[in-house]
Amino acid sequence: TQLLEQSPQFLSIQEGENLTVYCNSSSVFSSLQWYRQEPGEGPVLLVTVVTGGEVKKLKRLTFQFGDARKDSSLHITAAQPGDTGLYLCAGPPITDSWGKLQFGAGTQVVVTP
Amino acid sequence: EAQVTQNPRYLITVTGKKLTVTCSQNMNHEYMSWYRQDPGLGLRQIYYSMNVEVTDKGDVPEGYKVSRKEKRNFPLILESPSPNQTSLYFCASSEQTGSLRRTDTQYFGPGTRLTVL
């Protein structure tokens, strides 16, 4: 059973549209990280959110950490083909040791021109 | 260039034939970890290491071994591979600043695609 549930699993949109990806859990996390993975490569870190309620912006990407630190969202404004990739959330539950990391199953985003 | 390297990148083997996947990082990171990635399951942690000679189990350690004799290397050993270990494997490393909130950036290798027949 996945501790971090991501939705949707797959998202296909046109260039210029907005999209939101969700990462939910019944467990509390010390922090949450968002990664993007492209075919044939390892995941690359986009952002880390630490404080409940925190909002971080990275150009057209907005990341939010839930007040209770159990969920997070990634919103992309005016998506571009370069945003295509597998988006993964990950984090250490507060009940686990520092070294253990849980990943969501990922959301595959496809942005067509 | 700061990087995590894995070898081999692709491997096809047969059931029961011992194999080792190497992982090396040149960033002097204390923390290293192995993951496997399967369709629909995301990444699952196999083993991790907080420093030399310190290793611990992740969520799916069965059938795998690791060692951390040097800071830069963290090999993954499959003593007797089975078909259910066919997967895409990633090694990663990060600093270990001690923050309880785990804010350190994890750097991933390019992956090793393993097929066990």
In this prediction, residues A97-107 reach a mean pLDDT of 89
How does the average pLDDT of chain B come out, rounded? Answer: 93
- Work out the average pLDDT over B40-46: 92
Give tens-digit pLDDT for A41-82. 999 999 999 999 999 999 999 999 999 999 999 999 999 999
State the pLDDT at residue A92.
87
The whole-number pLDDT of residue B102 equals: 67
Judge: B101–A50 Cβ closer than 8 Å, yes or no.
Answer: yes
The per-residue pLDDT for A42 is 94
What pLDDT, in 10s, does the model give residues A9-34? 999 999 999 999 999 999 999 899 99
- The residue-averaged pLDDT of B14-30 equals 96
In whole angstroms, what is the distance from residue A70 CA to residue B43 CA? 19
Nearest-Cα residue of chain B relative to residue A89: B42
List Cβ neighbours of B104 (8 Å cut-off, separation of 6 or more). B31, B94, B95, B96, B97
Which residue of A lies nearest to B37 if distances are taken between CA atoms?
Answer: A105
Residue B97 banded pLDDT, cuts 50, 70, 90 = low
**Percentage of chain B exceeding pLDDT 90:** 83
pLDDT of residue B11: 97
Question: Are A45 and B105 a contacting pair at CB < 8 A?
Answer: yes
A48 and chain B in contact, CB less than 8 A: yes
pLDDT attached to residue B100? 55
Q: How far is B35 from A99, CA to CA, in rounded Å?
A: 13
Contacts for B80 with CB less than 8 Å, ≥ 6 apart: B15, B16, B18, B63
- Asked if A88 and B42 come within 8 Å (Cβ–Cβ), the reply is yes
| Dist CA A30 CA A50 (whole Å) | 7
In the structure, what pLDDT confidence band is assigned to residue A95 with cuts at 50, 70 and 90? confident
Hey, is A29 helix, strand or coil?
strand
Q: What is the structure's pLDDT at A98?
A: 76
User: Tens digit of pLDDT for each residue in B67-95?
Assistant: 999 999 999 999 999 999 999 999 999 98
To the nearest whole angstrom, how far is the Cα of A60 from the nearest Cα of chain B? 21
A108 at B interface, C-beta within 8 A:
no
Q: How confident is the model at residue B49 (pLDDT cuts 50, 70, 90)?
A: very high
Reduce the DSSP state of residue B84 to 3 states and report it: helix
The chain B residue lying nearest A4, using CA atoms, is B42
Residues of B with CB under 8 A from a CB of A: 4, 31, 33, 35, 40-45, 48-50, 56, 58-59, 90, 92, 96, 100-103, 105-106, 108-111
Min distance B44 CA to chain A CA atoms (Å): 7
In the block, residue with structure tokens 């949109």: A13
For residue A14, what are the contacts with CB-CB under 8 A and spacing of at least 6? A111, A112
User: For position B101, what pLDDT does the model report?
Assistant: 59
